Amino acid sequence: MNVRALAGAVSLLALTVGCGGDKDETGGTRDAAIFDGDGSAGDAGPNDDGGAGGGGGGTRLRLSYIREVTPEVGAGRVDLYLYDFTENQQFNLTEGAAADVVDCTKSCKLTGDERWVGWLESDAGGGFALWVAPVDVNRKLVEVDKKRKVNDVVNTFDFSGRYVVYSRGQAAGIGGTIDVFAEPIAGPKADGCDPEPVANQGEEDCQQVVGQIDANGGFRVTPFGSLIILLRTTLSSMTVDFFNIESGANQSLYTFGSQEGTGSQFDGRLPVSLSPDATYLAVATRNDLIWRMHTLEARPNPPEPKTLDLYELKSNPMGDCQRPLPHATDGEVFFNQVLFNPRFSDDGEFMYFLAKGDCSKRDAQAPVNRDDYDIFRLGRDLRNPVNLTNNPRASHWSNHDIGDFDLTADATRLAFTAQRPNDSSSRSIWLLNINGDQIDFDCSRNEGSAPQGIDGKAHCEFIFDEIADAAVVHRDVSFHVVQTN
């Protein structure tokens, strides 16, 4: 653990140790750490993805993604794929017999170490059941004979270290809440668990309720397996809480907005992430008709967060597309939305976020027919944003309509999904190599056939498919570093 990460651990440890421990709901004190049961960094979570890697020592860099094929006639299929950078090959994890039991249509995710896969499968009642199954990382296949049903009526889920975390049920009426559960991915222990999961029971090997959120709330996993972020909302506020699965400790960290207000400005889908060094949270909000990025210290009673005003919302009565990104290094850039949770460099010094806008569409002098998308790098001091994708503003495929993205922990490779050249119904995966200020598309897999963008640069697809009379969409990209035999 580096010095900054250690400082982060100490800061989060103080959330419950402090002066005599943190009081629980019964008025007693709890001496366990919020950060981890023993105050250490805990299990590596699904986003603790290591460096760019290679094949040395059994360490492999891989990219997971969903591949969805929709033919003009007949049934389509949705599969979970891996690309291995060492072998320069794609592998279908859910082909053959597995395709009949691993349904990636709604949601399909791998743990960071690729040892488990989870998916939401439609049930007869119209909801979704959560299933998990182990994955053989060497043979690159799902062990479907060992799958298990976690629960039904599940809204959303994610993996955090050795746990699967999910929200379940519907909030009934005004003020109703939804339970957020956590349990070991492999399943609760055979005996000794309360048959009715309770909040904060501190039984890390059992199913337990880690908290309640309102219908507009949410949760986030962190790079530290036992630490969960809960987002509770009112009409005009969002409160950020930490919960430790292994110790049962919880701490309310900070409230954005005002709980007494009436405007619907916050919700649990807003972009929120904890930095890998555990020293701060990056939080994007859209209050007062402005998108803002905040950095909030991850410690008890933190100071007011640092804040950077980003863009005006479309509904801003002062007029949209009038606020350029402050401190931008490449001139004025106009957007009106922040998408997805921020990604980080491994040291936490930089965050990366995806911005979207329709300002070029509404340019009276030179309108285009595409929304704008770009991925920005922003320091923890919220200064000097760098536009990494720098898409041209034009009615052209090279003005990439980015669907989602991920980057390696050393921030030297960035993958995103976007439309194929001259094929609006299909989406491929594009890979950028980042070396300081030098940013280029990776052309290693289609050398000699790279199409030119309207900006005069080679825009190379990294993973793509061309199937006659069918649309092929790639989505949900995620980097992994795994150990193989």
pLDDT tens digits along 226-285? 899 999 998 889 999 999 998 888 899 999 998 776 667 888 999 999 999 999 999 999
How far, in Å, CA of 139 to CA of 316, rounded?
A: 53
The confidence score (pLDDT) of residue 31 equals: 30
How far, in Å, CA of 133 to CA of 481, rounded?
A: 19
Give the C-alpha distances (Å, rounded to integers) separating 87 from 30, 82, 414, 452, 481: 49, 11, 19, 28, 14
The confidence score (pLDDT) of residue 176 equals: 78
pLDDT tens digits along 337-373? 999 999 999 999 999 999 998 888 887 677 889 999 9
Is residue 361 in some structural domain? no
Is residue 443 in some structural domain? no
The confidence score (pLDDT) of residue 265 equals: 81
Which residues of the chain carry a pLDDT beneath 70? 1-57, 96-100, 171-175, 197-203, 261-263, 314-320, 324, 326-332, 364, 447-448
Is residue 101 in some structural domain? yes
Is residue 437 in some structural domain? no
Is residue 275 in some structural domain? no
Structural domains counted in the chain: 1
The confidence score (pLDDT) of residue 111 equals: 95
Is residue 162 in some structural domain? yes
DSSP β-bridge partners for residue 299 = none
Q: Are strands 107-110 and 116-122 parallel, antiparallel or unpaired?
A: antiparallel
**Hey, what amino acid is at 94?**
T
Is residue 147 in some structural domain? yes
Closest by CA to 400, choosing from 371, 426, 376, is 371
The confidence score (pLDDT) of residue 83 equals: 97
Task: State pTM to two decimals.
Answer: 0.86
Is residue 219 in some structural domain? yes
Q: Which residues of 100-133 are buried (b: 16+ CB within 10 A; e: fewer)?
A: eebbbeebbbbbbbbbbbbbbbeeeeebbbbbbb
Exposure on the CB side of residue 452, measured as CA atoms within 13 A: 3
Structural domain of 264: 1-47+93-269
* Encoded tokens for 323: 């606020």
The confidence score (pLDDT) of residue 200 equals: 45
DSSP letters, 104-169, are: -SSEEEE-TTSSEEEEEEE-TTSSEEEEEEEEETTTTEE-GGG-EEEESSEEEEEEETTEEEEEES
